[in-house]
Amino acid sequence: MNVKPGVEVAGLSDVGCQRENNEDSFLYWEPDSDKEFQRTGRLSVIADGMGGHEGGQEASRLAVETVREVYQRVVVDRPQDALAQAFATAHSRILEFAERHPALQGMGTTCTAFVLRQRKLYFAHVGDSRLYLVRGGDISRLTRDHSYVGRLVESGLVRAEDAEKHPQRHILTAALGAGLEVAVDAEESVALEEGDDVLLCTDGLWGVVSEEELLDVVRSHSPAETCAALVKLARQRGGPDNITVQVLRVSADA
């Protein structure tokens, strides 16, 4: 993977210990042209498919490929708007694919994507894959889970510290390919600093590894080492789901 100076990037996906197929997909993309790079910046996408192994694989693949294709084509001034348009297109394509393949009715996927352009982070999100920012000794989650338990937390009926172990925490309230319309969280920019780490992961990781553990691993390892160590830790804890993680670290010449 060719990466322009300014960041260090790594990603890893693993089937886990209890699944036969990996329904997660992810990518990191940046254009070769310096002129085009000024327009688009860097793009990372992660998706966790659902609807049976074939349906889930197709949904997550369609999501990441469509987000990259549409974002690259339409982005001009506001990356978050381009991401929202890319998500809407991916949603439509998954619905159309399922309509052409009746055996895959019910296919869908989470999707979380971020753009880094001129040290500003823009992101869009549907589902319960997560985006974290690690800065110094702190970790903060930038996305909110579109899930049944996420709604209970937002309404004050469940404490945030109890949500991670709630038996219904994986019931989604939004996903690409689910329902006629999808509401996308597309956020304004977050300014990044030298040494910041941006981490994307599916619930196969955050469901068995705490935020404190994520922080400890990220701060003591390179991005590649972080991905390997976190996947290993999730597998040691039973790996009940597919495990996918991406890490981007901002360097001095970003």
What tokens were used for 109?
């996927």
CA 128, 131, 134, 135 dihedral sign is: negative
Cα–Cα distance between 25 and 132 in angstroms, integer? 18
Q: Which residues pair with 222 in a beta bridge?
A: none
Place of tokens 């981490």: 199
User: Of 79, 194, 92, 81, which is closest to residue 135 (Cα–Cα)?
Assistant: 194
133-141 mean pLDDT: 96
Q: What pLDDT was estimated at residue 56? A: 94
Domain 7-250 has CATH 1.10.10.10: no
Q: What pLDDT was estimated at residue 187? A: 78
**How many C-beta atoms surround the C-beta of residue 90 within 10 A?**
30
Condensed to tens digits (0 to 9), the pLDDT of residues 28-49 reads 999 999 999 999 999 999 999 9
Arithmetic mean of pLDDT over the chain: 90
- Banded pLDDT at 147 (limits 50, 70, 90): low
- Banded pLDDT at 54 (limits 50, 70, 90): confident
CA 197 vs. chain centroid, Å, equals: 14
Condensed to tens digits (0 to 9), the pLDDT of residues 176-185 reads 998 878 889 9
Q: What pLDDT was estimated at residue 167? A: 52
Condensed to tens digits (0 to 9), the pLDDT of residues 186-237 reads 877 899 999 999 999 999 999 999 999 999 999 999 999 999 999 999 999 9
Q: Is the per-residue pLDDT at 156 higher than 70? A: no
The domain ranges of the chain are 7-250
Cα–Cα distance between 150 and 165 in angstroms, integer? 12
Cα–Cα distance between 59 and 177 in angstroms, integer? 8
Q: Is 223 exposed, middle or buried (0-12, 13-18, 19+ CB in 10 A)?
A: buried
Residue 196's φ and ψ, nearest 5 degrees, are -65, 145
Q: Is the per-residue pLDDT at 53 higher than 70? A: no
Residues 6 or more apart whose Cβ sits within 8 Å of residue 129: 46, 47, 48, 110, 111, 112, 143, 200, 201, 202, 203
